[in-house]
Structure formats: structure tokens, C-alpha cells
Amino acid sequence: MKKLVYAALVAATACGLSSAFAGDATKGKATFVGKGCWQCHGYEGQGGSAGPRLANTQLPEDGLISFVHNTNGIMPPFSEKLISDAELSDIYAYLQSRPKPADPKTIPLLNLK
């Protein structure tokens, strides 16, 4: 059964239907800016003075969606009326598409003996 589901996913991806399963990073960037997430988290989700880094978050997608709708800490919650699950899936794709930090092995100063 697992194999069948996997085969269906591969087939769907090959047919260009992957957007049914994952967000759209380009739309996600526009939503991240349009809904004001950048004001606390930075345009690239790199983190700002008011909010932590979100780029390449370790949170699973449903964890991010649930956090944004339900948080009650310093960050104000954004209800489903303000931002939909689909829009948050797009934001998730955008955040996962941000460049990763440099590998320390590629930084000469850190490799001096």
C-alpha cells in the first residue's frame, strides 16, 4: 500500500500536480510581505529585532500553520479569516526555499590551524 501511495505521488509530481501537495514559494513571498510577517521576522524570514528567524524552520508545515493561528505569546495570532491554511502553506514553501547558512568549513578564518 505504501508503495502505491508513493507511486501515486511520484506520478502526480511528474505530471506537474505537485502544487496540490505543497505551497508555492513565489506566492508565499508575496503573502509574507502582504500580511506583514516581515515587519517582525525580516523580508527573508531571517529574523528581526521583534521576531525570530523563520527561514529553513525546523517546524513541520502543520506545526507552523497551527502556531500562526493559535499562538498567544508575544506574536499576535492570525486567525483563519486573516490568513488561510493555503496561504500559510505558500509561506512555508517560501521559508524553506531561503538559502541555508554557510557551512563553517567554507569559512577560511574558522579553518586556520
Query: Which stretches of the chain bind ligand HEC, using CB under 6 A?
Result: 35-37, 39-41, 50-52, 54, 57, 59, 64, 67-68, 71, 73-76, 78, 83, 91
Per-position DSSP letters for 5-43, written without gaps between them: HHHHHHHHHHTT-GGGTS--HHHHHHHHHHTTTHHHH-T
- List Cβ neighbours of 59 (8 Å cut-off, separation of 6 or more): 67
Question: Of the two residues 52 and 101, which places its CB atom closer to ligand HEC in the complex?
Answer: 52
Provide the minimum distance between the beta carbon of 39 and ligand HEC in the complex, in angstroms, as a whole number: 5
Question: Of the two residues 17 and 33, which places its CB atom closer to ligand HEC in the complex?
Answer: 33
CA 100 to chain centre: 13
Provide the minimum distance between the beta carbon of 97 and ligand HEC in the complex, in angstroms, as a whole number: 14
Planar angle of CA 56, 62, 64, nearest 5 degrees: 50
Question: Of the two residues 14 and 74, which places its CB atom closer to ligand HEC in the complex?
Answer: 74
- Whether 82 and 70 have beta carbons less than 8 Å apart is answered as no
Provide the minimum distance between the beta carbon of 25 and ligand HEC in the complex, in angstroms, as a whole number: 14
Provide the minimum distance between the beta carbon of 98 and ligand HEC in the complex, in angstroms, as a whole number: 13
